[in-house]
């Protein structure tokens, strides 16, 4: 399954967003996984939890764990991040863009001829930091600029 995001032109836009056309990356997390592996995060409201996701915004770098209840209430928990600037490396011959935000996110995008990018790889240690083992969250999805 290929995930797509528009590549924006460089310019006065923020450094990272301008370089790759994406605002960030999002992992959907099983509510059952949070109940089983990270019960403190649901703060005694596990029965109400219907959806959860981890969103990592690239610029400014921030990470938010979003918990959604059956009533549609959203609780957003900002995760502490080390103050580090993202490193962007373009691999023009291969059509790849590597983005590294140390201790937060490493991802690789492949540029397509239609000015779009596909997510090749993404990894974050933040999922493990909140107590989740591998296999309890979905494949990450790119979030385009201007999309929440």
pLDDT digit string (tens) for 12-67? 224 544 556 778 899 999 888 888 888 777 776 777 889 999 999 887 888 999 99
C-alpha count within 13 angstroms, C-beta hemisphere, residue 29: 29
Q: What is the pLDDT of residues 115-148, one digit of tens each?
A: 667 899 999 999 998 888 887 778 899 887 765 5
All structural domains of the chain with their residue ranges: 4-135
- In angstroms, the CA 2 to CA 9 distance is 22
Q: CB within 8 A of 95, min separation 6: which ones? A: 110, 111, 112
- In this structure, the dihedral spanned by the alpha carbons of residues 132, 16, 59 and 63, taken in order and rounded to 10 degrees, is 0
Q: What is the pLDDT of residues 64-77, one digit of tens each?
A: 999 998 888 898 99
Q: What is the pLDDT of residues 88-99, one digit of tens each?
A: 888 888 989 898
Q: What pTM did the predictor assign?
A: 0.78
Q: Residue 109: which of 124, 128, 90 has the closest Cα?
A: 90
């Amino acid at each position: 399954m290929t995930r797509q995001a528009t590549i924006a032109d460089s310019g006065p836009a923020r450094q990272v967003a301008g370089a790759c056309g994406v605002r960030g990356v999002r992992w959907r997390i099983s509510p059952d996984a949070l109940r089983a592996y990270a019960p403190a995060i649901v703060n005694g409201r596990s029965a109400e939890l219907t959806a959860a996701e981890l969103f990592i915004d690239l610029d400014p770098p921030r990470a938010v764990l979003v918990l959604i209840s059956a009533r549609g209430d959203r609780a957003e928990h900002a995760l502490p991040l080390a103050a580090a600037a993202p490193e962007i490396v373009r691999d023009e011959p291969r059509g790849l863009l590597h983005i590294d935000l140390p201790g937060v996110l490493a991802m690789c995008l492949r540029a397509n001829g239609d000015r779009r990018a596909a997510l090749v790889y993404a990894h974050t240690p933040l999922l493990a930091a909140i107590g989740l083992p591998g296999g309890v969250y979905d494949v990450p999805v790119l979030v385009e600029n201007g999309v929440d």
